[in-house]
Amino acid sequence: MPPLDIKLPNPVRSAFESPLRDDTVTVNIGPSHPATHGTVQIIAELDGERVLRTDVHCGYLHRGFEKECESHTWHNLIPYVDRLNYVSALINDFAYCEAVEKLMGIEITPRCRYLRTLLSEYSRVVDHLTCIAAGLMELGAMTAFLYLVMVRDYMYEHLADLTGARVTYTYGRIGGLARELPDGWLGRLGDILDKYEVFVARVHGLMDRNRIFIDRMRNVGVISTADAINWGYTGPILRSTGAPRDLRRDTPYLAYAELDFEVSVGINGDNYDRYYVRMREMDESVHMIRQLTDALPDGPINVDDRRCTFPEKHLVYTEIESLINHFKLVMDGPQVPAGDVYSAHESPNGELGFYIVSTGEGIPHKVHARAPSFVHMGGVHKMLDGYQLADIVPTFGSVNMIGGECDR
């Protein structure tokens, strides 16, 4: 190919008009960088190896989620919702479905409630595994990465048995779930959780008391509770500062009020605390999954409400009312009454909220996702400034910025 004869435009404008001092260097990290977890650009001004100030640019994965949602029916946009926080896709599904169900005034069946809780916790484990595995790999601990990704792979295959896909499932439906659990799914779940415990014990043994790991992560990327709340942090990052704020405990939703679990908190708000809070949260999630598996009630998955639930196929082929109902649901979408609602779930990154506005049609007027990663990006400079350049990598890894959620 002949050399490029156009000047490539710069899609961002830096906040730093001029350097602070004469002897500082401004360095551009990203947006195509192994450790920026996707596409984030950090323009850092350095004094030697020490970071003086950073300017974080996200938006390189802005895929027009809200605009797409405004031209699809309430059901058809569930795949878009999935791909927000793509490491824990089921939680996005259920948070969105719950928002629409609130607006429609639907109450889901007990079995669906328990299953959604179980799958939310399962997705939380998958997310934390990915975050910790990627973070450890960037520090050089390749073995821990391989162990954790092995467990994650078992979970992906297991979820593929249930939903048909490994990473982004589109399993939630308004009023219920897509399909019932296959036979033997819960038994295999027990096996996977046992394997999880074996692998995570190994990672604990490799990492927790490792001198190098502690030196790199302790007292690095520290943020105080007041700063965290001011800059909008929720989720494991806020909990690592010592504040026991968890939506599952504070404003229980789904089946969390009936479960027995602890909210893990950290001490300093540094990288090591965030790592450990996530490891403990995974253990708590596994404990919750075991409780839910024992207490899972029987019954239907989908609520029996013809405004949103598709009728049985054999009825669609024989009765005219079911045929018309099915047709209307597919072509026009479920008719959601006019109004607006904000409904939030505790995603592995923090508070994932959906603000949806309906004008009474089958197509939403607005679907806005309150993405925790986006808000966290606004405050991440508090954790990066003042530390070394090499600390940007583990700190950024511990924030767990997911591009699909941050940029929507």
Partner 1 sequence: MTTAPTQELLKERLAPAASEVSTAHGVLVIALPAASLLEVVQKLRTEFLFDLFLDVTAVDWLGQTPRFEVVHHFYSTHHHLRVRLKTRVTEQDPTVDSLVSLYGSARFMERECHDMYGIAFRGNPDLRPILLYEGFEGHPLRKDYPKEREQPLVPYRK
Partner 2 sequence: MPSPTIPIRPATARTQAFEYLTTKKDELVGWARKFSLFPYPFVTACCAMEFMAVSSSPYDTDRFGAALPRFSPRQADLLMVVGTVTHKQAPVLLKVYEQMCEPKWVMAFGVCATSGGFYQNYATVLGIDKIIPVDVYIPGCPPRPEMVIDGIMQLQDKIARSRHPILTRDF
Tokens for 173, please give them.
Answer: 């439906």
Q: Which stretch binds partner 1 (CB under 8 A): 68-76, 126-134, 191-199, 299-307?
A: 68-76
Q: Which does 102 bind (CB under 5 to 8 A by kind): partner 2, partner 1, none?
A: partner 1
Give the residue among 39, 35, 148, 29 at the shortest CA–CA distance from 396.
35
Tokens for 210, please give them.
Answer: 């490792």
Interface positions, 89-128, toward partner 2 (CB under 8 A)? none
Tokens for 266, please give them.
Answer: 């950290």
Distance CA 75, CA 309 (A): 10
Distance CA 166, CA 157 (A): 6
Neighbouring CB atoms inside 10 A of 274's CB total 31
Q: Determine if 360 is a binding residue for partner 1 (CB under 8 A).
A: no
Strands (E) across 266-383 are located at 339-347, 350-358, 366-370
Distance CA 167, CA 172 (A): 14
Residue 71 or 251: the one with the smaller Cβ distance to partner 2 is 71
Residue 65 or 256: the one with the smaller Cβ distance to partner 2 is 65
Residue 50 or 166: the one with the smaller Cβ distance to partner 2 is 166
Q: What angle do CA 391, 394, 400 make, to 5 degrees?
A: 135
- Quickly tell me which residue has 């602890």 as its tokens: 262
Q: Residue 9 Cβ, how far from partner 1 at the closest point, in Å?
A: 5
Strands (E) across 70-126 are located at none
CB 95 within 8 A of CB 354: yes
Contact string 9-28 vs partner 1 (x = CB under 8 A): xxxxx-x-------------
Q: Determine if 6 is a binding residue for partner 1 (CB under 8 A).
A: yes
Tokens for 15, please give them.
Answer: 């906040």
Q: Which does 232 bind (CB under 5 to 8 A by kind): partner 1, partner 2, none?
A: partner 1
Q: Determine if 242 is a binding residue for partner 2 (CB under 8 A).
A: no
Element (H, E) at 45: strand 41-47
- Quickly tell me which residue has 């995603």 as its tokens: 347
Interface positions, 311-340, toward partner 1 (CB under 8 A)? 339-340
Q: Determine if 408 is a binding residue for partner 1 (CB under 8 A).
A: yes
CB 158 within 8 A of CB 316: no
CB 335 within 8 A of CB 148: no
Q: Which does 370 bind (CB under 5 to 8 A by kind): partner 2, partner 1, none?
A: partner 1
Q: Which does 386 bind (CB under 5 to 8 A by kind): partner 1, partner 2, none?
A: none
Q: Determine if 3 is a binding residue for partner 1 (CB under 8 A).
A: no
Q: Which stretch binds partner 2 (CB under 8 A): 58-66, 209-217, 309-317, 357-365?
A: 58-66
Q: Which stretch binds partner 2 (CB under 8 A): 96-104, 129-137, 227-235, 294-302?
A: 129-137
Residue 256 or 374: the one with the smaller Cβ distance to partner 1 is 374
Site residues, partner 1 (CB under 8 A)? 6, 8-13, 15, 57-59, 62, 64, 66-68, 70-71, 102-103, 227, 229-232, 234, 243, 245, 250-251, 339-344, 351, 353, 355, 357, 365-366, 368, 370, 374-375, 377-379, 407-408
